[in-house]
Chains A and B, each alone.
Chain A
Amino acid sequence: MSTKLYLGTRKGLLEAVRGTNGWKITRMSFLGVQVPMLLPDARDGALYAAVEHGHFGTKIHASRDGGATWEERACPTYPPKPDNYVDVANPMSQEPTPWTLKKIWALEAGAGEGELWCGTIPGGLFHSTDHGASWRLVESLWNHPDRAKWFGGGADWPGIHSILIDPRDKQRLLLAVSCAGVWESRDGGESWQNIGEGIRAEYVPPDQAGDPGIQDPHRIAWSVSNPDTIWMQHHNGIFVSHDGGKNWREITNAAPSAFGFAVAVHPRDPQTAWLIPGVKDECRVACDGALCVMRTQNGGETWEQLRAGLPQQHAYHLVFRHCLDVSGDGRTLAFGSTTGSVWISEDGGDSWERLSAELPPVYCVRFGP
Chain B
Amino acid sequence: MPTVEFTANLANQTHAPKCRVDGRNVRECLDAVFELHPKLRGYVLDDQNAIRQHVVVFVDGTAIRDRRAQTDAVRPDSELFVMQALSGG
Q: With an 8 A cutoff between CB atoms, is B54 at the interface? A: yes
Interface residue from A54, A56, A72, A80 paired with B48 (Cβ < 8 Å): A80
- For the complex, count residues of B whose C-beta is within 8 A of A: 20
Do B88 and A54 touch (CB < 8 A)? yes
- B residues in contact with A78, CB < 8 Å: 47-48
| Interface-located stretch among B17-25, B38-46, B72-80 | B38-46
Q: With an 8 A cutoff between CB atoms, is B8 at the interface? A: no
Residue of A nearest to B40 (CB): A56
- For the complex, count residues of A whose C-beta is within 8 A of B: 15
Q: Per-position contact with B for A74-89: 1 when CB-CB < 8 Å, else 0?
A: 0101101100000000
Give the CA-CA distance A54 to B52 in the complex, in Å: 10
Do A55 and B48 touch (CB < 8 A)? no
Do A56 and B46 touch (CB < 8 A)? no
Do B52 and A56 touch (CB < 8 A)? yes
> Measured between C-beta atoms, what is the minimum distance from B41 to chain A in Å?
10
Q: With an 8 A cutoff between CB atoms, is B10 at the interface? A: yes
Do B48 and A59 touch (CB < 8 A)? no
Do B47 and A100 touch (CB < 8 A)? yes
> Measured between C-beta atoms, what is the minimum distance from B6 to chain A in Å?
10
Give the CA-CA distance A240 to B15 in the complex, in Å: 50
Among A54, A56, A75, A99, max chain B CB count under 10 A is at A56
Residue of B nearest to A53 (CB): B13
> Measured between C-beta atoms, what is the minimum distance from B52 to chain A in Å?
5
Give the CA-CA distance A52 to B39 in the complex, in Å: 16
Do B54 and A54 touch (CB < 8 A)? yes
Q: Per-position contact with B for A182-205: 1 when CB-CB < 8 Å, else 0?
A: 000000000000000000000000
Do B54 and A101 touch (CB < 8 A)? no
Interface residue from A56, A75, A80 paired with B44 (Cβ < 8 Å): A56
Q: With an 8 A cutoff between CB atoms, is A57 at the interface? A: yes
Give the CA-CA distance A101 to B53 in the complex, in Å: 12
Among B48, B55, B85, B88, max chain A CB count under 10 A is at B48
- A residues in contact with B42, CB < 8 Å: 56-57, 59, 75, 77
Q: With an 8 A cutoff between CB atoms, is B89 at the interface? A: yes
Main secondary structure of the interface of A (DSSP, over half): loop
Give the CA-CA distance A72 to B14 in the complex, in Å: 10
> Measured between C-beta atoms, what is the minimum distance from A121 to chain B in Å?
13
> Measured between C-beta atoms, what is the minimum distance from A290 to chain B in Å?
35
Do A56 and B39 touch (CB < 8 A)? no
Residues A101 and B10 in contact in the complex (CB < 8 Å), given A54-B89, A55-B55:
no
- B residues in contact with A80, CB < 8 Å: 48-49
Do A99 and B52 touch (CB < 8 A)? no
Give the CA-CA distance A55 to B50 in the complex, in Å: 13
Do A77 and B47 touch (CB < 8 A)? yes
> Measured between C-beta atoms, what is the minimum distance from A52 to chain B in Å?
11
Interface residue from B39, B49, B52 paired with A55 (Cβ < 8 Å): B52
Give the CA-CA distance A304 to B88 in the complex, in Å: 43
Give the CA-CA distance A297 to B70 in the complex, in Å: 59
- A residues in contact with B88, CB < 8 Å: 54-55
- A residues in contact with B50, CB < 8 Å: 100
Do A56 and B43 touch (CB < 8 A)? yes
Give the CA-CA distance A56 to B43 in the complex, in Å: 5
- B residues in contact with A100, CB < 8 Å: 46-48, 50
Interface residue from B9, B14, B44, B48 paired with A81 (Cβ < 8 Å): B48
Do B84 and A101 touch (CB < 8 A)? no
> Measured between C-beta atoms, what is the minimum distance from A196 to chain B in Å?
31
> Measured between C-beta atoms, what is the minimum distance from A26 to chain B in Å?
23
- A residues in contact with B46, CB < 8 Å: 57, 100-101
Do B47 and A101 touch (CB < 8 A)? yes
Q: Per-position contact with B for A46-80: 1 when CB-CB < 8 Å, else 0?
A: 00000001111101000000000000100101101
The 9 sampled A-B contact pairs (Cβ below 8 Å) are: A55-B55, A55-B88, A56-B42, A57-B42, A72-B14, A72-B39, A78-B47, A80-B49, A101-B47
Beyond contacts A56-B44, A100-B47: 9 other A-B pairs, Cβ-Cβ < 8 A, are A54-B89, A55-B9, A56-B84, A57-B46, A59-B13, A75-B42, A81-B48, A99-B48, A100-B50
The 6 nearest A-B residue pairs measured at CB = A77-B47, A55-B84, A54-B88, A56-B43, A55-B88, A55-B54
